């Protein structure tokens, strides 16, 4: 069996397990989707529970949910009763993906060059500055960065809107705030990865063979240093692309993260299951993609391309 | 940004004193109060309930919360049209101590997690400690768990609130009828039930009002609930905007908002 097929089967099993666990955990939580500050009239509640099959035996409810999920339909939201979960996913996923993709690109563009530059300027003042900045960005939680960014750039300078998902300009601040901690991680990682290679035997041997220093940097330092960065990028890009609960909340972006939190709080069983499965699928697919890229760069990694 | 519906709780006091031009809390047709679970110890005993109720000073609570909310002595808000509230029960000013046996009890106050509710809980805890010498444990739960606990009568005393559906006292009072879905106290009182039923069937406004007056007096005297404060809206609005009108039910007539003429700004 090819490695890729094995991984796909494992992903399918993971998805099923996540679906089952989420389903059961939500049912185990106290309170239901129709509990509100003012109780519904009993006859209305009976009707609603019947309409959404909440009084069926649990196994039957689960099988219904599973069959639906296999067809790509998670049923109607129990909170927004006219809307299907897939419609909500369809609206929210592009917002989260856009935010995540922007943040990922920004983090890569900032983090890797900064880290490599710091490694090449090892122990110099620039190296120190870059490292201090990276440590600072890693230590400050992103909701603090977000708050400051809103105070300065929205209310102070008036450059970007403070909240809401209307137009590209409203994505600038969230993207930056989401990207900065990841950029800082990438800086530290690429710096140490490059240093490990520089201090190793490869570049020295290459220099001894009479190669140009620039050639050594690109072929014997940058390329081997890329492997650990790629390994880190798999889960990180998945984490960024699946959105940020915190950043989406702070900037009031209508992405998956906001729905995810609200669905759990509202006991919106179907929506919470749908989002969790969607997250898992994204995470699995992106990890697989990153591993495939890894196998192309580092020959020691088992090839996934068959 | 010209309008924000909810100012953060921590900023309320600063906003009230420093930015009165942009912060205009308006009374809502709502009351926050405590529910006692009355069908099980320790609060099945009316004297215990009264002791805990008398220990509460809503005026001090309102001050502690930043002086934007008005202290409540009644369930039906004072803003209700054509309504005269019954007198506050006299025992609210007679602080009884608990018995030694009671002091050793385990007391627990349940509230749903929020910044404001936590402050309220801490003030109540301090007031109970000062007046009764008891240490009440504070338990908070996330909204749906809290609702399930309250509905299932899995609490001793809990934070509650009610927003009137329409501008009439019965909108607040009828929830405490024995079989009402929103009773959530275990309190079943034939006298109260009858008063509400009589009010429902009474065509004469003046007589109907008397039934409701008696009903609220009964509810407060039995110490089933303890009113805490009347909620306000915490809107922030750009001072250059005029015409923000909100009715008691909290609805804003957005069409009447206008930028003030330039000369004024």
Question: Which residue of A31, A36, A39 is in closest CB contact with B145?
Answer: A31
- pLDDT tens readout for residues A162-200: 777 677 777 888 888 888 988 998 999 888 888 887 777
Taking Cα atoms as reference points, which of A227, A228, A138 lies closest to residue A185? Answer: A138
- The CA distance from B77 to B171, in Å, is 11
At B265 the pLDDT is 47
Picking from B79, B76, B47, the residue whose alpha carbon sits closest to that of residue B215 is: B76
> Chain B within 8 Å of A158 (Cβ-Cβ)?
no
Task: Indicate whether this complex's ipTM tops 0.85.
Answer: no
Helix (H, G, I), strand (E, B), or coil: what is residue B157? Answer: strand
Q: What is the pTM of this model?
A: 0.80
* Whole-angstrom distance, CA of residue A172 vs CA of residue A176: 6
CA distances B144 to A47, A78, A198, B30, B108, Å, are 20, 14, 57, 21, 19
User: What's the CA gap between B218 and A7, in Å, rounded?
Assistant: 69
Give yes or no for a contact between A106 and A183, defined as CB atoms under 8 angstroms apart.
Answer: yes
> What long-range pairs does A124-128 form, CB within 8 A, spacing at least 24?
A127/A191
Give the pLDDT confidence score for residue A306 in this predicted structure: 47
Question: How many C-beta atoms lie closer than 10 Å to residue A128's C-beta?
Answer: 12
* Residue B75: closest CA among B27, B31, B124: B31
**Along chain B (265 residues), what's the average pLDDT of each consecutive run of 10 residues?**
79 86 86 95 90 94 89 93 92 78 83 93 94 92 93 94 92 94 93 95 94 96 96 87 79 85 62
Of B137, B207, B39, B150, the closest CA to residue A31 belongs to: B150
Separation between Cα atoms, residue B219 and residue B173, nearest integer Å? 8
- What tokens does A303 get? 């090839």
Q: Is the pLDDT of residue A72 over 90?
A: no
Q: Which residues of B touch A30 (CB under 8 A)?
A: 141, 144-145, 148-149
The better pLDDT of the pair A112, B126 is held by: B126
pLDDT higher than 80, residue A84: yes
pLDDT at B153: 94
In the numeric block, which tokens belong to residue B166? Answer: 């329409």
Of A29, A38, A155, the CB nearest to B182: A38
- A42 neighbourhood in chain B, CB within 8 Å: 181
Could you please state the CATH topology (level 3) that the domain comprising B2-259 is classified under.
Dipeptide-binding Protein; domain 3 (3.10.105)
Mutate to test the interface with A, among B3, B11, B30, B147 (most CBs of A within 10 A): B147
**Chain centroid offset of residue A237 CA:** 6
Query: At the topology level of CATH, where does A87-297 sit?
Result: MetI-like fold (1.10.3720)
* CA B130 – CA B123 distance, rounded (Å): 11
Residue B181 and residue B111: Cα distance in Å, rounded?
19
Nearest neighbour of A265 by CB, restricted to B1, B142, B151: B142
Q: Each residue of A264-302: pLDDT tens digit? A: 899 999 999 999 999 899 888 888 887 887 777 766 766
Two tokens, residue B40: 């099980």
What are B101's two structure tokens? 């046996």
Q: If DSSP codes are grouped into helix, strand and coil, which group holds residue B229?
A: strand
- Domain spans in chain A, listed from the N-terminal domain onward: 3-70, 87-297
Question: Minimal Cα–Cα distance from B67 to chain A, Å?
Answer: 26
Q: At A21, is the pLDDT very low, low, confident or very high (cuts 50, 70, 90)? A: very high
């Amino acid at each position: 069996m090819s490695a890729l097929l094995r991984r796909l089967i494992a992903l399918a099993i993971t998805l099923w397990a996540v679906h089952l666990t989420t389903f059961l955990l939500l049912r185990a939580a106290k309170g239901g989707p129709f509990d509100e500050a003012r109780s519904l009239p009993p006859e209305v509640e009976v009707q609603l529970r019947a309409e959404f099959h909440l009084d069926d035996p649990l196994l039957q409810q689960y099988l219904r949910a599973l069959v639906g999920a296999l067809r790509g339909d998670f049923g109607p939201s129990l909170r927004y009763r006219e809307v299907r979960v897939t419609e909500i996913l369809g609206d929210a996923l592009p917002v989260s993906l856009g935010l995540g993709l922007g943040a990922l690109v920004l983090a890569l563009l900032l983090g890797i060059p900064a880290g490599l530059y710091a490694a090449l300027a090892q122990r110099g003042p620039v190296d120190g500055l870059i490292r201090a900045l990276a440590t600072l960005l890693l230590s400050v939680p992103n909701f603090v960065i977000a708050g400051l960014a809103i105070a300065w750039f929205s209310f102070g300078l008036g450059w970007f809107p403070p909240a809401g998902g209307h137009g590209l300009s409203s994505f600038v601040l969230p993207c930056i705030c989401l990207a900065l901690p990841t950029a800082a991680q990438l800086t530290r990682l690429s710096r140490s990865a490059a240093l490990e290679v520089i201090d190793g035997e490869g570049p020295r041997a290459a220099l001894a063979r009479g190669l140009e220093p620039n050639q050594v940097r690109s072929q014997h330092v940058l390329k081997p240093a890329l492997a650990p960065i790629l390994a880190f990028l798999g889960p990180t890009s998945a984490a960024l692309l699946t959105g940020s609960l915190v950043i989406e909340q702070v900037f009031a972006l209508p992405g998956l993260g906001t729905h995810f939190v609200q669905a759990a709080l509202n006991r919106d069983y179907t929506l919470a299951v749908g989002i969790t499965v969607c997250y898992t699928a994204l995470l699995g697919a992106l990890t697989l993609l990153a591993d495939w890229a890894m196998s192309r760069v580092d020959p020691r990694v088992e090839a996934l391309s068959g | 940004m010209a309008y924000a519906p909810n100012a953060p709780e921590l900023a309320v006091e600063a906003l009230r004193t420093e930015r009165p031009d942009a912060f205009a809390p308006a009374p809502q047709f709502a009351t926050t109060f405590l529910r006692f679970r009355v069908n099980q110890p320790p609060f099945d005993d009316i004297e215990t309930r009264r002791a805990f109720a008398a220990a509460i000073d809503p005026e001090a609570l309102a001050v502690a919360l930043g002086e934007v909310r008005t202290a409540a002595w009644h369930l039906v808000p004072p803003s209700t049209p054509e309504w005269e509230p019954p007198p506050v029960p006299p025992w609210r000013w007679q602080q009884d101590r608990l018995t030694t046996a009671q002091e050793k009890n385990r007391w627990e106050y349940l509230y749903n997690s929020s910044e404001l509710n936590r402050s309220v809980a801490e003030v109540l805890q301090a007031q109970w400690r000062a007046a009764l010498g008891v240490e009440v444990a504070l338990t908070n739960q996330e909204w749906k768990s809290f609702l399930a606990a309250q509905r299932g009568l899995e609490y001793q005393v809990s934070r509650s609130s009610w927003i009137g559906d329409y501008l009439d006292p019965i909108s607040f009072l009828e929830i405490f009828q024995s079989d009402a879905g929103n009773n959530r106290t275990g309190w079943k009182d034939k006298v109260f039930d009858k008063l509400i039923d009589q009010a429902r069937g009474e065509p004469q406004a003046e007589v109907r009002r008397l039934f409701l007056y008696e009903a609220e007096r009964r509810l407060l005297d039995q110490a089933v609930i303890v009113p805490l404060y009347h909620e306000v809206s915490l809107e922030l609005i750009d001072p250059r905007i005029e015409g923000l009108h909100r009715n008691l039910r909290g609805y804003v007539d957005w069409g009447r908002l206008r930028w003030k003429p330039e000369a004024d700004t």
